[in-house]
Amino acid sequence: MSSVLSRILPPPTYLTMPCVGLDISDTSLKYVSFHPSTRSGAERKIKKWGDIPIPNGIVQRGQVNDPQQLVAVLKEFKNQTKAEFIRVSLPEERAYLFETEIRQNIPLKEVRGLLEFKLEENVPIPSRDVFFDYTILPNEKNSRVAQVAVAAYAKETIQKYYDACVLADLHPVSFEVEAQAMARSVIPEDASGATMLVDFGKTRTGIGIVYKGVLLYTSTIDIGGDQLSQALRNELGSEVAESTLTQLKNTIGLVRGVDSPQVRDALISTVSVIKDELATRMQYWHMRTGNSSERRISSVTMCGGSANLKGLPAYLTETLGIPCVRGNVWENAFSLEKVIPPIDRRHSFGYATAIGLALKNTV
């Protein structure tokens, strides 16, 4: 009935509030939005997308060091897109995640109060200085308790991002941990078991573990594409251009070639460190969950600009012992058999978080 009424009398734009997904990292601001649609089952269409560089030092490890310069970047975004409403990613480095239990069927109005008492046990910041949100995981109907995933941030962290947006004449509708937004774009809705998300970026690698569509764990490795480039420069010479290094990573990478074995040799030591860190976190997760078969990590999904490294999925699959694939960032947006996105596959991996934020409008 609602879809019929929407076609006859579509709601005004200010009620549907179309938002742009805004992924703010240390090095860039990426954005994506979809055309609003009131037709049930209609294929989504991308309305806006883009990438604006953020100069070094403005944001560092998720901490806003220069609010005025971040406002300038956001104003540039505003001028390019004419956007009003935005959904913004928050750095997972600054997030505190924990899981707890509450009594099943407790009134929703009481849940937040109960969780406030749990903050002091799990977050090393006074509860008065914390913003938090929560998700109740799907449980068995006969269970007496419900599992709740809580994400918390220091108020100061969110306030800096919020103030910068407002000063740029933008209206933040929501803030979300970047790995949770990424999960919304790349993890199939019918996925079973837990999925490890690996966001292989320019300066660092983010790790998230998602179960039943909910982010339950995050971590960060201070190794990214820049370290791979430096390893190649050490082997091939400091004068090699970054564009050439990117091409070598994406076309040769970890595949040992007869003509260029030094490329793989230069990269493998850095990649093996990342592999070891992933294995350590997998082991920790399995111990933390009591080796639960239901919560065991069944796959690794990779995104981020440096996920284009040739041979990476095969290397991780072999060394970690579970399937490792590059994510389809359009998994929950539209079928690639029906829609050809304007962002090519190689660049799309860097837009996973922004796409997930934009999808929140429609799911």
pLDDT in tens, 275-287: 999 999 999 999 9
Task: Name all domains of the chain by residue range, CATH numbers in brackets.
Answer: 1-91+155-187+331-363 (3.30.420.40), 190-328 (3.30.420.40)
How high is the pLDDT of residue 362? 58
- pLDDT confidence tier of residue 104, bands split at 50, 70 and 90: confident
- pLDDT confidence tier of residue 258, bands split at 50, 70 and 90: low
Q: Judge contact between 179 and 195, C-beta under 8 A.
A: no
Residue-wise pLDDT for 315-362, tens only, equals 999 999 999 999 999 999 999 999 999 999 999 999 999 999 999 865
Q: Judge contact between 321 and 341, C-beta under 8 A.
A: no
- pLDDT confidence tier of residue 9, bands split at 50, 70 and 90: very low
Residue-wise pLDDT for 40-88, tens only, equals 556 789 999 999 999 999 999 999 999 999 999 999 999 999 999 999 9
Of the candidates 275, 355, 286, the one whose C-alpha atom is nearest the C-alpha of residue 318 is 275
- pLDDT confidence tier of residue 38, bands split at 50, 70 and 90: low
Percent of the chain whose predicted confidence (pLDDT) is above 90:
80
Backbone CA torsion sign across 134, 294, 182, 320:
positive
pLDDT at 8 over 50: no
pLDDT at 37 over 80: no
Of the candidates 26, 201, 176, the one whose C-alpha atom is nearest the C-alpha of residue 86 is 176
Collapsing DSSP states into helix, strand and coil, what is residue 79?
helix
**DSSP secondary structure, 162-190, as one string:** HHHHHHTT-EEEEEEEHHHHHHHHHS-TT
Count of C-beta atoms within a 10 Å radius of residue 315: 22
Q: 């975004």: which residue's tokens?
A: 77
pLDDT at 92 over 60: yes
How high is the pLDDT of residue 192? 82
pTM of the entire predicted model:
0.91
How high is the pLDDT of residue 181? 97
CA distances for 185 relative to 49, 83, 84, 354, angstroms: 15, 21, 23, 9
How high is the pLDDT of residue 7? 44
How high is the pLDDT of residue 257? 73
Residue-wise pLDDT for 132-178, tens only, equals 999 998 876 667 888 999 999 999 999 999 999 999 999 999 999 99
How high is the pLDDT of residue 5? 38
pLDDT at 259 over 90: no
- pLDDT confidence tier of residue 216, bands split at 50, 70 and 90: very high
